[in-house]
Amino acid sequence: MKKVTETVEMEELLLQELSAAELHLIQRAQEISKRAYAPYSNFHVGAALVLENGEVFQSSNQENVSFPTGVCAERLLLGYVGANNPDLAPLTLAIVAQRAGEEDWAEVSPCGVCRQTINEVENRFNRPITLLLLRNKNQVLRIRGIKELLPLKFDNLNK
Ligand code: THU
């Protein structure tokens, strides 16, 4: 038996340490989170994505009374962007969340299905996507590609 370890890497920053473009993306995600449709979880998520041409798109989570039918903010966003801009690689994806009635930002991290979806988009464009996860008012995790959140990821049917 051989013990195998895999380490992951991420950067923890203060909001003021982000670039202006990264900060703008967080703000776009915060704005759109206010328009989430999340009457079942009351967890309002916002995601904003910048493409290689500089264009920014955004989405919130959209829930359903049949819970699994609801869609996470980032997966809805990646689907829309992939459908409408099939030739432009996404570069950076910001994700934020806030509980209804609370002023502080909640800690957020993409679910397993969204991680696999982000992986697919990275593979489609052969380029890692930088993730910015807002942790609270002032703190952000910057993650350089989904491999840091998805060790032993599945991405090849033929080997
Ligand atoms: N959710 C997202 O939209 N993105 C995440 O990264 C975490 C979870 C949504 C799904 C559901 O509508 C609500 O948050 C609670 O899980």
Domains and CATH numbers, the chain: 11-148 (3.40.140.10)
Residues 68-77 have pLDDT tens digits of 999 999 999 9
In 3D space, the residue among 158, 94, 86, 156 whose CA is nearest the CA of residue 123 turns out to be 156
Burial class (CB in 10 A: 0-12, 13-18, 19+), 87: exposed
Q: Measured from the CA of 60, which atom of ligand 1 is nearest? A: 3
Report whether pLDDT(137) > 80: no
Average pLDDT over residues 116-140: 95
Determine if ligand 1 sits within 6 Å of the CB of residue 76: no
The reported pLDDT for the residue numbered 50 is 98
Res 117: pLDDT: 98
Q: Which ligand 1 atom is the nearest neighbour of the CA of 76?
A: 3
3-state class of 13 per DSSP? strand
pLDDT of 31 over the 80 cut: yes
pLDDT tens-digit series, residues 103-114: 999 999 999 999
Token pair of 136, please?
């609270």
For residue 96 and ligand 1, the question of a CB distance below 6 A is answered with: no
Provide mean pLDDT across the span 123-131: 98
In the reported structure, the alpha carbon of residue 57 is separated from the centroid of ligand 1 by a whole-number distance in angstroms of 18
User: Does the structure show a pLDDT above 80 at 10?
Assistant: yes
% of the chain at pLDDT higher than 70: 100
CA distance 156 to 37: 35
pLDDT digits (tens, 9 = 90+) for 39-81: 999 999 999 999 999 999 999 999 999 999 999 999 999 999 9
Q: Whose CA is nearest to atom 1 of ligand 1?
A: 72
Above 90 in pLDDT, residue 156? no
